[in-house]
Structure 1
């Protein structure tokens, strides 16, 4: 039986040297490394536990530097703490060295004349009206932790002409509802060009940037609508745009990712 995200978060404990440690189970692996969404989520969780009274998370920049599995340790450090904005670094170390590096930006709210959303919620089938995303044999180990429904686009390695897809995703663990759990969901979609592949080939996320639109993101029944759209693919690399809405249509998160493709 796989360990849920809630249980993994509970198991992460502070060590004598001040770092946070835990062992990543096989069910959260993506090939030979920890699933990137989990790595980023645990980096954020270590910061949240290390530093009290932080303002809301506004943005994060994640670098996936090397593989990590099994025992990992996470350290964090304040880079700058101003009157309204704080930058905090997190570093996940594995047996082979630095695996994930993140810089998280926290910012207090201020009065503003601006209060607008410029990105529309797409008119798409609901989770109940959508079909399973993966075909048999193409599910990485970590995907067993999520329910995934394809609302629009192609399935992985199907020779699809589409470089944009929309999917509904939620944790199977219904207790995973905080911001760190959202980060764990946010990286779930495979690269937007993967449906265009006609045969399996390795892929690897290199960088990931997220902007958090809501200070206390919530959704009904755990479902989030995730959009991934490739903007470029050449020379073994692809860049893509990413968006997340909750089930009520509120814009929750925007992001970008740079990916290495071996196809």
Structure 2
């Protein structure tokens, strides 16, 4: 697969006037019922980076899904908040037909020297290398966005296998390939089915209400995927479900963690 440029270019993301952008998410990026949530989160993050007056890397993003978007055109607008010399926060809203359908607060932060040594408390699991893992295809007739994911399960059960463990772990890349950055990482963090799916034998609707993503490494100096993605269900009950996702590069460096709060509608 060949790298094709910045994330937003894949969705014709262009500035229309001060603080506003236009993007198109076509039907190939549709999830269960509408635009893939990670893709929409990626667009919000991309707009935040473009709108900022500071060229700082993304450190975190909190995304809220406010309605029922459809595939097609989106209008996005951003507001920047300068917080001291090293931190910038941007509030970004995506609209369709003048109605907000998603919003995010994206934190950008300057790198800085510190006396505290770097460390990570989430080591990558020991799994086979990506080329040694068989391909797995999400059914594109049900989830069209599955055609954009190259998934190679590396550990844990498969979705809808009636397993006893609510966890999936796989090497994942995007097709067409995109540079591994904060926007594309949001897509990868939402590439696997909901974390409780290995427990099930038939799919149910589990839409994401909120997605929180934290960046742990400098994504600007990385190449393309595949990356190792581990998604696990933390809890489900009372019609709600919480998933945690970790993403490592091929050298075992922790890149991104994410948490999704979901409604269970089945």
Deviation, 1:223, is: 0.6
Aligned to 1:125: 128
The correspondence for 2:72, drawn from 65, 70, 73, is 70
Partners of 2:5 and 2:164 in 1: how far apart? 35
The correspondence for 2:180, drawn from 177, 180, 186, is 177
Contact 1:209 1:257 in 2 (8 A): yes
The correspondence for 1:226, drawn from 224, 229, 238, is 229
Give the TM-score, by structure 1 length: 0.90
Contact 1:210 1:255 in 2 (8 A): yes
Contact 1:220 1:246 in 2 (8 A): no
Deviation, 1:164, is: 1.3
Q: Does 1:167 align with 2:170?
A: yes
Count of residue correspondences = 261
Q: Deviations over 1:206-244 (max 9, x none)?
A: 111111011235556521101111111111111122110
Aligned to 2:201: 198
Deviation, 1:134, is: 3.9
Partners of 2:188 and 2:221 in 1: how far apart? 13
Higher mean Cα deviation, 24-33 or 130-139? Answer: 130-139
Aligned to 1:143: 146
Partners of 2:171 and 2:189 in 1: how far apart? 11
Partners of 1:8 and 1:125 in 2: how far apart? 33
- The 3-state SS of whatever aligns with 2:125 is coil
Aligned to 2:26: 25
The correspondence for 1:158, drawn from 156, 161, 165, is 161
Unaligned runs of 5+ in 1: none
Higher mean Cα deviation, 134-143 or 79-88? Answer: 134-143
Aligned to 1:247: 250
Unaligned runs of 5+ in 2: none
Higher mean Cα deviation, 197-206 or 14-23? Answer: 14-23
Aligned to 1:41: 42
Partners of 2:5 and 2:206 in 1: how far apart? 25
Partners of 2:8 and 2:257 in 1: how far apart? 27
Contact 2:11 2:23 in 1 (8 A): no
Aligned to 1:57: 58
- The 3-state SS of whatever aligns with 1:42 is helix
Deviation, 1:155, is: 1.9
Partners of 1:137 and 1:128 in 2: how far apart? 23
Aligned to 1:15: 16
Q: Deviations over 1:119-139 (max 9, x none)?
A: 212101221222233465775
Partners of 1:15 and 1:221 in 2: how far apart? 30
CA 1:135–1:24: 2 relative to 1, 3 Å: closer
The correspondence for 2:217, drawn from 214, 217, 238, is 214
Aligned to 1:108: 110
Partners of 2:243 and 2:154 in 1: how far apart? 18
Deviation, 1:57, is: 1.1
CA RMSD, Structure 1 to Structure 2 (Å): 2.3
